[in-house]
Amino acid sequence: MRRIGFVCNPIAGMGGRVGLKGTDGKLAEARERGAEPRAPERAFAALEALYERLPDAEVLTAGDPMGESEARAAGFDPAIVHEPGEETTAADTREAVRRFLDRDVDLVLFVGGDGTATDVAETVTEAGSETPILGVPAGVKVYSSVFGVTPRDAGRIAAAFDATESREVSDIDEEAYREGEVRATLRAVVNVPVAEELQSSKQLGGGSVEGLVRGFVAGVDPETTYVFAPGGTVGAIEAALGFEGSPLGVDVWRDGELLVRDGGESEVLGALSERNVIVVSPIGGQGFVFGRGNQQLSPAVIRRCEIEIVASRSKLDEIGVLRVDTGDPDLDEELRGWTRVRVGRVERRMLQVV
């Protein structure tokens, strides 16, 4: 029987859709902006997939709001090894993991982002344990290579893996991230299940985007509202249009006017018009178009927009496929399939969203 320790960071990802680029130290502000938890539903999706494949798994978890209800809803009768306080902290995550290790779990399955991954990985490393870990993506920053591509992928991997490999956990300074700078630090190297459905770590794509930018700008329609996602390639387009966008935020622009800079979901929705286009570039090394670092582009926003994907040829050669994880399985399914990606002034390349 497989024994799995499961812990959920209930506030992971709350800052994403309201434009905070993370929740560390910003929980109160996220709530003031109307942020709602997204981790519990992703926790349930992972556990449901685990139960479908391995209903007799022994699940150890923390009390609510860190996993108990989601485990029971998925069909398990979990053993509660830690009772967190009303306001959970990283210390609760670390204590739960320590107790999992004391009980010789076969896998630590956690829900969160890179910050939670760091808490889990450092706890495992400090204990001198080789127990593998696996992340269910729920945070704003999900750049480490220890996460399943989707929550259900993580659940399926947890049920079926039979080998592990070493992978890196990196975390990003959220204060610097909010100021438009990515400062990634390697925090740990841990064992992770071997599976195709694991995401890669974030890498920088090379190649010139000058032709791509010229082609995009030449085709701008003054009656269309453009929603610019984060990223360097998209930022080059914004600069060519004559304005300074938010390097790691979402901007809305129409006919020479910057309507929203670094906006959250509600601000973006409020600025949309009859015709809207999201301009987005996939994350290098991973291929994610939606669901990593741009949660402001919620299902509600995406459904009201056309999508223009832009990327250098070298980035597409590196990633091979595109990925989506919007939090809405129906929308993810609608987005899957072959799509055109602008790679030059007039050139396009067909790439599959998987």
Cβ neighbours, 10 Å, residue 215: 18
pLDDT in tens, 109-150: 999 988 899 999 999 999 999 999 999 998 766 778 899 989
What is the greatest pairwise CA distance in the chain? 62
pLDDT of residue 25: 52
Name the token pair of 172: 């990003």
Highest mean pLDDT of the ranges 86-90, 244-248, 255-259: 255-259
Could you identify the residue written with the tokens 């391995």? 54
pLDDT score at 306: 97
Q: List Cβ neighbours of 271 (8 Å cut-off, separation of 6 or more).
A: 225, 252, 254, 259, 260, 263
% of the chain surpassing 70 pLDDT: 86
Dihedral angle sign, alpha carbons of residues 21, 13, 339, 182: positive
At residue 182, the pLDDT reads 56
The answer to whether 187 and 138 are in contact (CB under 8 A) is no
CB neighbour list of residue 114: distance below 8 Å, 6 or more residues apart = 139, 141, 142, 143, 144, 169, 170, 171, 172
Q: Answer whether 8's CB lies under 8 Å from 65's CB.
A: yes
pLDDT tens, position by position, 51-74? 999 999 999 999 999 999 999 999
Report domain extents, the chain: 3-193, 210-353
Position 11 confidence tier, pLDDT thresholds 50, 70, 90: confident
Distance CA 15, CA 64 (A): 21
What number does CATH give the domain 3-193? Answer: 3.40.50.10330
Contact 267, 40 (CB under 8 A): no
Kindly report, residue by residue over 337-348, the tens digit of the pLDDT: 989 899 888 788
How confident is the model at residue 201, as a pLDDT? 63
Cis preceding linkage at 65, omega within 30: yes
Number of H helices, E strands in the chain: 13, 16
Question: Which contiguous run of DSSP H or E holds residue 317?
Answer: helix 313-319
Q: How far apart are CA 62 and CA 169, in angstroms?
A: 23
Given this model, what pLDDT does residue 207 score?
39
> Looking at residues 259-279, what average pLDDT do you find?
96
DSSP, res 55: T
Average pLDDT of 284-310? 93
